[in-house]
Amino acid sequence: SSELTQDPAVSVALGQTVRITCQGDSLRSYYASWYQQKPGQAPVLVIYGKNNRPSGIPDRFSGSSSGNTASLTITGAQAEDEADYYCNSRDSSGNMRVFGGGTKLTVL
């Protein structure tokens, strides 16, 4: 079982806004990073830190955090955003890394 909990699946209409959440006690102390993975491909970093995007990641992707919950928001979802999204952070001890179970995003 994962120390970070994500909803297994979320859907959004094309052009609308969607929030993907990640819950875990360690998120009270550590920021989450977010990764996008499309079928047959390696994951890609989309958000790190408080709300930082690597170069090349569209600004429709944003991150936030409150209490034990981190969120990835896609404002104006596009068809190409359909993918699995994983959060990642440290575990409660701070020594190990852990991934959430992943959220499958469907763009309708």
Partner 1 sequence: QVQLVQSGAEVKKPGASVKVSCKASGYTFTSYGISWVRQAPGQGLEWMGWISAYNGNTNYAQKLQGRVTMTTDTSTSTAYMELRSLRSDDTAVYYCASMASRDGYIIDFEYWGQGTLVTVSS
Cβ atoms of 85 and 103 within 8 Å: the answer is yes
**Based on CB atoms, which residue is closest to partner 1, 48 or 76?**
48
Residue 76 or 91 with smaller CB distance to partner 1: 91
Q: Is the dihedral of CA 76, 44, 2, 66 positive or negative?
A: negative
Q: How far apart are CA 74 and CA 94, in angstroms?
A: 28
Interaction site with partner 1 (CB under 8 A): 2, 31, 33, 35, 37, 42-45, 48-49, 52, 54, 86, 88, 95-102
State how far the Cα of 98 lies from the Cα of 96, in Å rounded to an integer.
Answer: 7
Q: Least distance to partner 1 from the beta carbon of 59, Å?
A: 16
Specify the residue, 18 or 53, whose C-beta has the smaller distance to partner 1.
53
